Amino acid sequence: MRYYASITIPAGTLASAPASNKFSVSSGRITEIELLFPPGSAGLAYLQIFYSDRQIYPTSIGEFFRGDDHLINWSDEYELIDEPYELELRGWAPAAIYDHTIYCQCTITPREPATALDLSAAPAGSLETED
């Protein structure tokens, strides 16, 4: 499933009080992320992505993405296992004189349904229990 979100960061927003946008996703695995920093942001807008109030991107805690007319994309295998299934974009732009909007797309691959364990090929006696 493909999800789209954006965050508009007001000019002068401090890292200590970032702008935030939470968006709902499905349970599963994040397999792809794309971030677009449109022309004009001049590297003055910063972004982090959180899940369950924990920074997940960039994976180096405390680091951030930034760019200008720049598309950042990568593949991953991050499991979303805790409800609520929400990602949060957090951004700030302390030196900006204009608001900046950053766009995010992510692909979530649903979990495979659990299947019954096939024990028909187990060696004889291997499934016996002790009394």
Each residue of 58-91: pLDDT tens digit? 999 999 999 999 999 999 999 999 999 999 999 9
Kindly give, in sequence order, each residue whose CB lies less than 8 Å from that of residue 17, ignoring residues fewer than 6 positions away: 92
Structural domains of the chain ordered from first start = 2-109 (2.60.120.380)
Q: In what order do the strands lie in the sheet with 70-80?
A: 2-9, 100-109, 28-37, 70-80
Angstrom distance (rounded) from CA 88 to CA 25: 10
Residue-averaged pLDDT of the chain? 91
Each residue of 86-123: pLDDT tens digit? 999 999 999 999 999 999 999 999 987 665 555 566 56
The tokens of 92 are what?
A: 């700030």
Q: Which residues pair with 55 in a beta bridge?
A: 50
| Size (the chain), residues | 131
Identify the weakest region by mean pLDDT among 28-32, 50-54, 88-92, 119-123.
119-123
How distant is the alpha carbon of residue 131 from its chain centre? 49
